[in-house]
Structure 1
Amino acid sequence: MTPQARQGPVRNIVRLAWPMLISQWAGIAFAVLDSTMLGHTNPISLQAMALSVSIFMTIHIGLMGIVHALVPICAQLFGALRHAEIGRFIGQGIWLSLFLSIIGGTLLLFPDVWLSYSGDLPLQVRQEVAVYLRICCVALPAALMFRCVYALATAVQRPRLLMYISLASVLVKLLFNWLLIFGHGGFPELGSAGAATSTAIVSWIALAAGLLAVSRDRFYDPFKLRLGHPVWSAQKEILQLGLPMGGSYLAEVSSFTFMALLAAREGTIVSGGHQILANLVSLLYMLPLAIGIATSSLVAQALGARQPDQARRLARIGIGLGLAGVVLSLLIVMTARPQIIQIYTSDPAIAAMAYALLTILPLLHTSDALQCMLSYILRAHKIATMPFVIQTGSLFGIGLVGGWYFGFGPGYRQLDGVAALLTPGAPPGVASLWIMCSFSMLLCAITLAIWYWKSVNVRKQ
């Protein structure tokens, strides 16, 4: 009997999801801390940070998605009681993380390629972005290796380890931000470079804490955790699932990255308002993400234990819990919209821009949450290629390309009527980007739901 079969499915999903939610919120708090602290310095640094974070997160999350293939792989092994194999895969994941960090670090060294989509930016913005990304090269290996610890703890239902490390990381990040952004305690005032430096420091501290905790916890002894040497057969198995997973992650995050780059064409005020909405979307996304990952882990364990009916039941309950969380989140945010914006910025022009853009949040967040949870449930079945195709076609093809077409291309201002309802008062460029992004999320969610229904029914027969 699998661990989740001993208790009610709702309780198991919640028990696994809430520490993961806090961990995810703590992770996104890094960007929120950077945005809020730099937002009270000057708009130039805020824009530079917004562009830098968008570029770094595109590379980081795309590569992280490959490493996250360890979650369904290890969860199925855990459900099948094949514990010793889990340690072998985690070691291979560490090697894979190091290889991927070389690729990602190389991409971070060419910021002008990314910024070519943003039009004419002030020289100071370009310089700050270049410095920020060079520092992030140091953070990337630690961030990716920590994802192996994350995958292990998630697969075997030990998410509190991640929560404790993440909460501690936020406090350390806050301290180093205060020291390095503003130049307190005798440190130089580094601005956005200080934010990047603090991220690098905290990433390595978190990795060390995670490895130390796992090595000293007797619970992990049966998994025989070890590094070993790179083995192509194991690397291939991770990559077969991880590459389409990473592609899905990349499709979603890159659409937001290029939206930020395109929005920068309309100026610093628009870019700042866009960044506030993007931060809120990321913050709210953590709830369906946590529920989706928790549900996926339990579904994979049920499949490993050869309990397909339980897996389908867990999937339905997980989606229902996620939607309930979406409704509650939207009620809170939309009611406290002015107060939330004040936390991000004291600039009245940026605040007005953010207020206009936030009108589209209910449609965007609901669609985003659904596609997120469905994609994770499909990955629990080791179905990753089709979600990648669907998400890439919808989010990148329709969302991003459509946003450019109506916001900056031949279809300029053709969405003015829709924008008056969904983003009243926002410039046509950034309004079109968010409208098409929301529509693409909705289309993606519907298509993934159809594909899941077809997949589980075919397998049931």
Structure 2
Amino acid sequence: MNQTHSVKQKTHQFLIILLPILVTQLTLFSMNFFDTVMSGHASARDLAGVAIGSSIWSPVFTGLNGILLSLSPIVSQLVGAKQNNEVPFKVIQGIYLAVAIASAVILCGTFLLDPILNGMSLETQVRQIAHDYLIALAFGIVPLFIYTVLRCFMDALGQTRVSMFIILLSLPINVGLNYLLIFGKWGFPRLGGVGAGYATAITYWCIMFISFAVIARVKPFSDYRVFSRWFRLSLSAWKEQLKIGVPIGFAIFFETSIFAAVTLLMSGYDTATIAAHQAALNFASFLYMVPMSISMTLTIAVGFEVGAKRSKDARQYSFLGIGIALMMSVICAIALILFNEQVAGFYTTDPTVLELTKQFLIYAIFFQLSDAIATPIQGALRGYKDVNSAFLVALISYWILGLPIGYLLANYLAFGAFGYWIGLISGLAFGAIFLMGRLLRIQRRHSAPSPARQLR
């Protein structure tokens, strides 16, 4: 990144960083998107099984993966403060931490997966598909977490186009393997939704190895000589990353797990309702990649300016990001209204599931506005290294307010399964309001003159 001196320059630099991140996030999510879509065309049971499996894995992955995102503000502030010599040590410790977290996930899954699935009211075949899908995904957990660390390093330098190209290279691999393993083409076994899990795991290994090669050989990454020395494990470095990362992880976990909880609560409905809910939620999550990408861009931009002690520039970037997110959210909402039936048709040809999906998609429109405010603010706060507030807001907004509202509407009023979606929308709206108040307070704190300056 470079210092900017006008809103026009900031907008130009912001978009240069944002667009590759957006393409990367959309492509990464496309793996899950194609898993869901292609499984849905295998059968409704495969779609439901992948839906249940994804609903269990998604909050675990995003929450724990969120811990590793702490490397972005750490590196961006070091670069902004021109302390580049400290970067390799931070990256290597991040890799060690990623392996440790991934290993813990695999170990816990060994003992907890069967009890979780057995506690749900699922058809036997749906339960088996969900179980085997998660086992297949487990083979890709370690490389996925390591890749996150490597990507945080690349993105923190403002080189977001590189991670974009890496993911774009991997998408055809994922789709091709899905085709072979889900439908049993070219002599491969027909695994249905389970095949999507194996395809994604293999793809994760590919993007990790490509990232290693790029960082070692391509400038400006090679200038840092990240892999020239494998430092000894440092618990103090882990503590620094965990101090920032754990609240980020919990905030993301509370936000994503509320969607997973709703999916699990819906296991009491029929297979068609579960499939339609997952299809609509999958597409809403696809649109969520827009504010999420803006959030990641804000972490880099705000972190860079905070590291350089330019509070005015950090504040301008914050509101620039929120404005762009709101504009893009309105565009996405209009598109979803105009192409409601076509979007539903991506996921299924079953008439019952198709009609239910169209209804769920109407509710998904309202996600966009709240996400366009709350998600970018979280990214800006991470740039300030203010992470505990987002964690508390997520807990209160989604679990203490949103989920009870949804449960009440679904079980005690006439809204049925749609009541849960209204609860989700309410939680997102509460979160947006609370986070805006926190951001304004942090910005005032950073803009206030220091005591030394006041004495002068």
Where on the TM-score scale, by shorter chain, does this alignment land: which range?
A: over 0.9
Secondary structure of the structure 2 residue equivalent to 1:10: helix
Counterpart Cα distance in 1 of 2:149 and 2:5:
26
Q: Identity, % of aligned pairs?
A: 26
Counterpart Cα distance in 2 of 1:255 and 1:269:
21
Question: Which of 304, 318, 324 is the matching residue for 1:301?
Answer: 304
Question: Which of 110, 113, 116 is the matching residue for 1:111?
Answer: 113
Contact 1:153–1:162 (8 Å) recurs in 2: yes
Question: Which of 359, 384, 409 is the matching residue for 1:406?
Answer: 409
What is the one-letter code of the residue matched to 1:300? G
CA spacing shift, 1:116–1:367, aligned 2, 3 Å: farther
What is the one-letter code of the residue matched to 2:51? A
Counterpart Cα distance in 2 of 1:5 and 1:74:
23
TM-score by length of 2: 0.94
What is the one-letter code of the residue matched to 1:317? L
**RMSD (Å), alpha carbons:** 1.5
Give the 5 Å matches for 1:124-135.
Answer: 124-135=125-136
Counterpart Cα distance in 1 of 2:17 and 2:219:
20
Aligned to 1:182: 183
Contact 1:180–1:189 (8 Å) recurs in 2: yes
Contact 2:330–2:368 (8 Å) recurs in 1: no
Aligned to 1:97: 98
1:35 aligns with 2:36: yes
What is the one-letter code of the residue matched to 1:366? L
Contact 2:26–2:289 (8 Å) recurs in 1: yes
Secondary structure of the structure 1 residue equivalent to 2:140: helix
Aligned to 2:452: none
Aligned to 2:286: 283
Counterpart Cα distance in 2 of 1:341 and 1:280:
9
Summarize deviations over 1:149-191 as a string: whole Å, max 9, x none: 1101111011111111111211000110111111111111111
What is the one-letter code of the residue matched to 1:155? A
1:152 aligns with 2:153: yes
Counterpart Cα distance in 2 of 1:151 and 1:32:
23
Counterpart Cα distance in 1 of 2:114 and 2:422:
28
CA spacing shift, 1:403–1:114, aligned 2, 3 Å: farther
Q: Which runs of 4+ in 1 moved over 6 A?
A: none
Counterpart Cα distance in 1 of 2:5 and 2:119:
51
Counterpart Cα distance in 2 of 1:159 and 1:338:
34
Aligned to 1:165: 166
1:266 aligns with 2:269: yes
Contact 1:292–1:322 (8 Å) recurs in 2: no
TM-score by length of 1: 0.93
Counterpart Cα distance in 2 of 1:94 and 1:36:
33
Counterpart Cα distance in 2 of 1:405 and 1:106:
36
Return 5+ residue gaps in structure 1 as ranges. 420-427
Contact 1:45–1:125 (8 Å) recurs in 2: yes
Counterpart Cα distance in 1 of 2:109 and 2:361:
31
Give the 5 Å matches for 1:48-447.
Answer: 48-109=49-110, 110-115=112-117, 118=120, 120-226=121-227, 227-408=230-411, 412-413=412-413, 416=414, 419=415, 428=416, 430-447=417-434
Counterpart Cα distance in 1 of 2:27 and 2:365:
23
Aligned to 1:9: 10
Secondary structure of the structure 1 residue equivalent to 2:185: coil
Counterpart Cα distance in 2 of 1:157 and 1:354:
39
Contact 2:407–2:419 (8 Å) recurs in 1: yes
Contact 2:254–2:395 (8 Å) recurs in 1: yes
What is the one-letter code of the residue matched to 1:404? Y
Alignment size in residue pairs: 444
Secondary structure of the structure 2 residue equivalent to 1:291: helix
| Cα displacement (A) at 1:147 | 0.3
